[in-house]
Structure 1
Amino acid sequence: MAAHENVQQVLDRSVAEVGIPGIVAEVKDGDRTWFGTAGVADIATGSPRVPGEYFHAGSSGKAFTSATLLALEAEARLSLDDTVNAHLPGVLDVNVNGYDGDKITIRHLLSNTSGLFATGLAPEVSHRYATRSGFDRHRFDTFSTEELLRVAVSQPPVGAPGERFEYANGGFYIAGAIIEKVTGNSYADEVDRRVVQPLGLTHTRVRPTTETGYPSPHPRGYSSQFLKDGADPAALTPENWESLMEEPGLPPLDVTEFNSSLGYAAGNVVSTTTDMIRFFTAMTTGSLLPPKQHRQMWTTVSTEGGYWMPHARYGLGMFEFDERATGGRTLRGVGGSLWGSFFFAVGTPDGRHTVAVHTNTEWKSWDLMFKVIEAEFGVSIDA
């Protein structure tokens, strides 16, 4: 099929011109499926990438968190308009860290409009992982929920609740803790009970904090996303981070084995392209959640000015492209990046046409996603 041939060309160019070690794409178009690959799963052995590989889905896990909380709301266990203090009093204390737990709601957390700062810029995180030597030294560090909640509020607010979009993992850390408080169960167990099992995602789970590898088959993960030697992570800002990154051309670091507890409810799901297409389909069509909760997931806010993907609007853990950039066509998506892994799925709201892509290196630019969208859907989005 010509459209899929165009996708294959994007995959080939991504390896040849962008330096991605290995990439796969799976397309579901009605009753038909297509799988394409380019590059390698392992630089050392040259082994190819294959269908059914497990990978870390990065911030796609935010959508699992949102779906779990929406399911709890449907059972009247909570409301998305509940304040944080209603469930976790003291975590957000305006007199201690500037965040008012009586004004920030669960909805604010899930839509990245809570006013929390960009968690990845916290010194507790950047000093451990920002350089190659730091990553190697700390790759097996384990973060407890209590530590993550402290990191989430360790820097001042960037705005008032509901004022603006700012992509903040910390909001999802708090959301995960609310799930645990309300249910009395672990975050992983609740995601499994309310999302993974109902959808039959047999190759998907929240990664245990004791696990540092992947089931087979899986690609090796490679990273070049580090600061220059001598760069001070404390100087890192959303405006200057690109200028502080390593120069291109250095060999990538093998980051396959690492502890991903830092992801927690902001993104610590291991899955496959097939399972993620099934998950995306359920989220975009509303087959998992009741109509009220489904509408809430897709009530979106502008991401403009939030140092995130251009031409997009953010729902609850998922995104939708601004129709002004797609010529009036509605396309939705989910995705995320972590060391050695970048995944996204984009498709139509009816769930009939979806493309899922994974690379065994982290996000480099939005250009890959936009080129795949143009190749598969015929929609040109100007990055």
Structure 2
Amino acid sequence: MHEEVQQILDEAVTGDGIPGIVAEVHDDGRTWFGTAGVADLSAGHRRQPGEYLHIGSSGKAFTAATVLALEAEGRLSLDDPVSAWLPGVMETGGYDGGKITVRQLLNHTSGLFLTGLAPELQNSIATQPARVWTTSELVGLAVSQPPVGEPGGQFVYSNGGYYLTGAIIEQVTGNSYAAEVERTVIRPLGLTSTYVRPADATGYLQPHPTTYVAGALKDGVDPAMLTAENWASMIDHDKPPVDVTALNTSWGWAAGGVVSTTGDLTRFLRAIATGGLLPPAQHHEMWTMVTSGDVAWLPHARYGLGVIEFDSAAMAGQTVRGVSGTLPGSFTLALSTDDGRRSVVIHANIEPKNLDIPIKVIKAVYGVTLA
């Protein structure tokens, strides 16, 4: 299995143009670490264990776990309406904070639009890469376009739901979002190489890979025209990779602001997959799935509270759980069986052109076809 994964990593570099990619596999107490390509195209040094990685939307699971810990402490309920904690914040543009619950923010059934492709955000990333987004600006961004559905209805992936959740965490506790993630998740699990990236950060702790975006938007493409359906076709992969390591990512925040390592992410994922972090009731809530379809996710995967789970029928009877995240210059996928016996974390320092590489890794590690 390890040889097959190594071959996939090698092909990702030689065939798909990924600068550097790593995989960490744990199987019945054994650990294997594979790498291909380089951490930096200029320096040429190889990638290595222990690198600090921006895990993007995988950080949503940290946010969800924090909320569930607060629920276990009796400080809020998943069924609380948003207006109970953020009165008046959602009463705009057709939203009603009295009808949208914390649970719906976390499982993307709130009716909020796909915030990640908001023109204001896309233009900011393209033209103001050093801009620092405040919490109030992110909360305003979440409701800056009309609802796309009724609360509790269809699944529509929205970072905005996690911006609102981060604000709720701060309102409930009186502490910063970062402090509560540290208190409820990072310290209890001993994640010594994991942190919430500060809003004004322009770098990462060492060692870390240089992060790249694949080319750029095609000439003449207006960022305001990007949609979930067309954005991939708007990238010009023939243009040379662009170093975006210094990109400000304050717009990620509670929707994707966590930095970790493959080792720490393995420990975190195995804890939430097996029930090692949360009490039984909250563990059950985290893994209560909604139908998400395959548009935004890997085949046969559904979404819970910040997490994904594969249909066991597609995984040869195995229950495989995980997190995944992407942002400019970084792609992460972390998976574990629900007994914690077999896990894998992969990271590429560029966003892959498609999901072929992670799908191949899943097939190799878990011995499935995933058709």
TM-score when normalising by structure 2: 0.97
Give distance in 1, aligned partners of 2:352 and 2:101.
Answer: 30
Match for residue 291 of structure 1?
280
Tell me how far 1:328 sits from its aligned partner: 3.0
Match for residue 214 of structure 1?
204
CA 242–339 in structure 1, closer or farther in 2 if over 3 Å, else same: closer
Matches within 5 A, 1:1-383: 3-93=1-91, 96-129=92-125, 134=126, 137-224=127-214, 226-246=216-236, 248-304=237-293, 307-382=296-371
Tell me how far 1:225 sits from its aligned partner: 6.2
Structure 1, gaps ≥5 residues long: none
Q: CA RMSD in A?
A: 1.3
Q: Is the 8 A contact 2:215 2:239 kept in 1?
A: no
Give distance in 1, aligned partners of 2:294 and 2:367.
Answer: 27
Tell me how far 1:363 sits from its aligned partner: 3.9
1:269-311 alpha-carbon deviations (Å, 9 max, x no partner): 0110000000001100111100000000000011127544332
1:199 counterpart letter in structure 2: L
Q: Is the 8 A contact 1:284 1:351 kept in 2?
A: yes
Give distance in 1, aligned partners of 2:229 and 2:349.
Answer: 26
Percent identical among aligned pairs is: 60
SS of the residue 1:302 aligns to:
coil
1:328-358 alpha-carbon deviations (Å, 9 max, x no partner): 3221111201111111111200111101111
Deviates more, 1:345-354 or 1:307-316: 307-316
Tell me how far 1:367 sits from its aligned partner: 1.4
Q: Is the 8 A contact 1:345 1:354 kept in 2?
A: yes
Give distance in 2, aligned partners of 1:364 and 1:77.
Answer: 42
CA 99–225 in structure 1, closer or farther in 2 if over 3 Å, else same: farther
CA 102–226 in structure 1, closer or farther in 2 if over 3 Å, else same: farther
Q: Is the 8 A contact 1:337 1:363 kept in 2?
A: no
Q: Is the 8 A contact 1:164 1:306 kept in 2?
A: no
SS of the residue 2:317 aligns to:
coil
SS of the residue 1:11 aligns to:
helix
Give distance in 2, aligned partners of 1:359 and 1:233.
Answer: 24
Deviates more, 1:20-29 or 1:327-336: 327-336
Q: Is the 8 A contact 2:232 2:353 kept in 1?
A: no
Q: Is the 8 A contact 2:299 2:370 kept in 1?
A: no
1:138 counterpart letter in structure 2: Q
SS of the residue 2:314 aligns to:
coil
1:87-108 alpha-carbon deviations (Å, 9 max, x no partner): 0011111xx2111101110000
Question: After TM superposition, where is structure 1 displaced by more than 4 Å over at least 4 residues in a row?
Answer: none
Give distance in 1, aligned partners of 2:352 and 2:171.
Answer: 33
1:302-324 alpha-carbon deviations (Å, 9 max, x no partner): 11275443321101001001234
SS of the residue 1:325 aligns to:
helix
SS of the residue 1:174 aligns to:
helix
Task: Report the number of matched residues.
Answer: 371
Q: Is the 8 A contact 1:40 1:49 kept in 2?
A: yes
Q: Is the 8 A contact 1:225 1:362 kept in 2?
A: no
Deviates more, 1:216-225 or 1:226-235: 226-235
2:260 counterpart letter in structure 1: S
1:297 counterpart letter in structure 2: M
Tell me how far 1:62 sits from its aligned partner: 0.3
Q: Is the 8 A contact 1:85 1:101 kept in 2?
A: yes
1:210-264 alpha-carbon deviations (Å, 9 max, x no partner): 2211111111111116421211222222222233222x22110001112111001
Tell me how far 1:19 sits from its aligned partner: 0.7
Q: Is the 8 A contact 1:303 1:310 kept in 2?
A: no
